[in-house]
Chain A
Amino acid sequence: MRSGVVIFPGSNCDRDMIVAIRKITGKTPIKIWHKEYDIPNLDLIVIPGGFTFGDYLRCGALAARSPVITSIKNHISRGGAVLGVCNGFQILIEAKILPGSLIRNKKLLFTCRETTLEVQSCIENPFLSGLKIGECLKIPVAHNEGNYFAPEDLLKQLKEEGRIALKYIKQNDNEKNYNPNGSTEDIAGILSNNGKVLGMMPHPERAINNLQGGTDGLKFLTNCVEQIIG
């Protein structure tokens, strides 16, 4: 699989994502600098987490105006897959590649902890198709602005089009803080209308070995890679 990881000033999960993809594919993804207009043909582009441009103005707002966004849009129009994690999700929203908005966590505090995600029934996509609907994944979050908000008509549209990919889910009936940010209907990740772009707040690249909170992130990313290679 040919993959690339985009690096903006202030990206800080690029190395983690490269390590995770290399662990799965055996190949090191190329690094794509944010000033690049021309990028080679790739199967998957990952926009990793971080604080691009310091999250100044609004998270992802400045990165969404970088030259590389044009290249990413071209890649999408060629049918390429894009995964945006955390700040990458924020950038995809600011670039209007994905709809809705990511506002501050309900408690107004940065939150770093494990969450449990449930795979939703959704349109065909290269990220979740190999996983079972209703399957649970333990993957950590670390963010300050991960509260996904969609107005009612958009929410209706996302549901009708099967674009809600991942939701935070409680592990038992008594659990009340299972949603780390207060997002609408516990949404953790959404797809583009062609299913080729996934934005998600949790960090799969941080759950790739048993010593560090399990391997559900590895399972998720391995599935992505397998689906994309086809």
Chain B
Amino acid sequence: MEPQSELLKINKNEYLAQQKSKLEDALEMGLTKNEYNLICEKIDKIPNITELGIFSAMFSEHCSYKSSKKWLKTLPTEASHVIQGPGENAGVIDIGENLAAVFKIESHNHPSFIEPYQGSATGVGGILRDVFTMGARPIALMNALRFGSPDQPLTKHLVSGVVKGIGGYGNCIGIPTVGGETNFDKSYDGNILVNAMAVGLAKKDRIFYSAATGAGNPVIYVGAKTGRDGIHGATMASAEFTENSTEKRPTVQVGDPFTGKLLLEACLELMNTDAVLSIQDMGAAGLTSSSVEMASKGSLGMSLNLDLVPTREDKMTSYEIMLSESQERMLMILKPGSEEKAKSIFDKWDLDFANIGEVTNTGRLILTKHGFEACNLPLEPLVEDAPEYNKPFEIKAIKKVLKPSDLKTNLTIIDILKIIFKNPNIASKKWIWEQYDSSVMGDTIFANGDSDASLVKVHGTEKKGSFGKGLAITTDCTPRYVKSDPIIGGMQAVCEAARNIASSGAKPLAITNNLNFGNPDKKNVMGEIVGSIKGISEAASYLSTPIVSGNVSLYNETNGKSILPTPVIGMVGAIDEVENSLKISAEPDNVLIALGQSENFKAGWVGCSIYQEIINKKYDGAPPPINLENEKKVIEILLKLNEQKLLTAAHDISDGGLLTTVCEMLFKYNLGLDINLPSNLINCDSYDPLLQSWCFGEDQARIIIATKHIKKVQLILKENNIDFFVLGQTNSSSNLNLKDITTIFIKDIKNLNEKTIPSMMGEQQQG
């Protein structure tokens, strides 16, 4: 090899990247002193800058899950319908008829705060690649968004940018964005959450995995060229924010949905041949994580010539090439001899295709640049020795049970209902949803709140007399419950997701989760992580909805202030015949029944509810308890009633309680209802705390159904020992009457519901 002085002449920066590192370099890259010493010891040398960069990316929280791994291992991940659990690009479940649903959720929180459009757009692009890398055609996108207080000036800018970014990518690539949740809380003022979920469809026997095979096989780089964008993005995503975070803008990746579309079509076309042995998306930590993970999963090695990597800029160094997070790139191992055929497909789609090296059996990652060895590392320490911390934690839970009489108010039921629908957390998100193309691909049955879960048809399963199968998808989390009691909050997120899936008529099947928390070095934050994982595990096991994929996002703090703990549950379910699905809107002359609510239910659970916040501006009570047995019973009976085609609509009771849920069911057709009350409440007035708690309490395991077959339904409910309460029959009056106590004009409330977000966003009111 030429002397290093030759390299200095060719590319000075590359020369610097190949120099021995110092402790200061490691600290700057987010590693600790202990981690640096461990690295030097494990590889038996002092790493050069490129090698250290590779280590810092692989050891980042984002790639190594070092703080959460111990607890993630406790999640239930198995069931007979699980084809692939966590550890691959996405989870895979069997949905029958030789088909598989492939799905995952992933966060792009930090980049979206710094640069909302590109941050959220690349979040969508990244999660789509995770799904089509597995050989699945993406069929639906969802998201879970958390923004700061609506009256904070930055919020409007962030909402507008994030929504545009999500739409910008999804609309262009032509995958429908069918729903999700958007909430606001001041804890997200300096650290928003953008979690994007994608669901894809594959043939069960045509799933592609990432483990490299066969020493000597060619390693192929395809897609967009590598640029200097997003360098060390994974490390940025694993650090707390400060006031100067916007200076990190260059570490935000730039998305190109057009190239994403070409890459999607080219990859799926190639996967239709027998050329691809294994494939991995270049996501967080780019070429580093893809090459390291592919080689180590196959217990092999990899040798790459970085001069062959297509680059966008001149004289990029090995460090930059390995740590760039440029989007729309893939790494593949091809069957030897199939390179020409594969290249012709990528030529057709005008994408780069480069043979950059080969699989080896050395167990090492060897990289060359300008003929010099830029990196020579054993793979084992990169993956196996990534630290796993058992950080101290304390699970704090509020035990104080608030009674309705603790919350005295001079607000009437109508006043409260108006405040609820003026709250952007409850109000219609139509302003947001209309900016997403929800109907492209022609398979969307329910999007954007038409039903508790979004529903897409499974293309190609149409049969005589049926439109075929459907996949139901939802994202859920109630962070204020998690904050008050992490275990209950974790359980509640799973239960609400399952209720939502069931309320669309589908059977809940599996989960992808996105665990968004603050700084795990704080005992209480670590307690929130551990507690909610415990809660999620317990509920997911009980409901047989294992976790098949997921993502962890920690250090969601700004200047030491942590976000509300937000473990988002993305759940997928299936229905055999989509025409049997359920929307939330009741029809005229339907009887509404609250499932899971007994005749004796007299006082609602007010602690930690939206109602409590309205009355005393606090969430200091214990959240509603979870009874898994009841949750399961309510879901099973709902599905049973629906199988017998006895239902018109269903809507689970969550934020805002029973009365809010009833209103939402009446909105579409401007219906009215004379609502039945338990005997103890008939003589109450509109200020009565007990009556208000009945209206707005957030007791769990309840779903309101609408039926035209009241007698049959009642019979089945009694036979099955299910608690229920008949709320009354809908009429065309558009008045919701609570006996003689009060009359709610549904059209007024509906109007509020639709205007809240547009007026928050400063849109001029029309019509």
Contact = CB atoms under 8 A, between A and B. Distances in A.
Interface string B174-217: 10000000000000000000000000000000000000000000
Nearest to B167: A110
Given A9-B350, A51-B171, A55-B172, A206 B442 contact: yes
Given A9-B350, A111-B434, A211-B578, A15 B441 contact: yes
Contacts of B766: 176-177
Contacts of A211: 445, 467, 578-579
A209 B439 contact: no
A203 B436 CA distance: 15
B257 interface: yes
Is the interface on chain A under 10, 10 to 19, 20 to 34, or 35 or more residues?
35 or more
Contacts of B445: 211-212
Contacts of B444: 212
B437 interface: yes
Q: Chain A at the B interface: mostly helix, strand, loop or mixed?
A: loop
B530 to A, nearest CB: 41
B440 A12 contact: yes
Nearest to A203: B439
Contacts of B256: 54
A5 interface: no
B258 interface: yes
Contacts, number: 93
Interface in A145-163: none
B436 A112 contact: yes
A212 B767 contact: no
Given A9-B349, A54-B256, A112 B439 contact: yes
Contact of A9 (B168, B258, B434, B438): B258
Interface string B416-448: 000000000000000001111111111011000
B507 interface: no
B171 A10 contact: no
Nearest to A144: B171
Interface in A128-154: 140, 142, 144
B439 A206 contact: yes
A184 B171 CA distance: 25
B262 interface: yes
B172 A51 contact: yes
Given A12-B174, A110-B435, 9 more contacts: A10-B172, A13-B440, A51-B173, A54-B258, A112-B433, A140-B439, A176-B766, A203-B439, A211-B467
Interface of A: 9-10, 12-13, 15-16, 19-20, 49-51, 53-56, 107, 109-113, 140, 142, 144, 174-177, 203, 205-206, 208-209, 211-213
Leading 5 A-B pairs by shortest Cβ distance: A12-B174, A54-B258, A176-B767, A16-B442, A51-B172
30 contacts: A9-B258, A10-B262, A12-B261, A12-B440, A15-B441, A15-B442, A16-B442, A50-B174, A51-B171, A51-B172, A51-B173, A53-B258, A54-B172, A54-B256, A54-B258, A54-B259, A55-B258, A109-B434, A110-B167, A110-B434, A110-B437, A111-B434, A112-B436, A140-B439, A142-B171, A142-B440, A203-B439, A211-B579, A212-B444, A213-B439
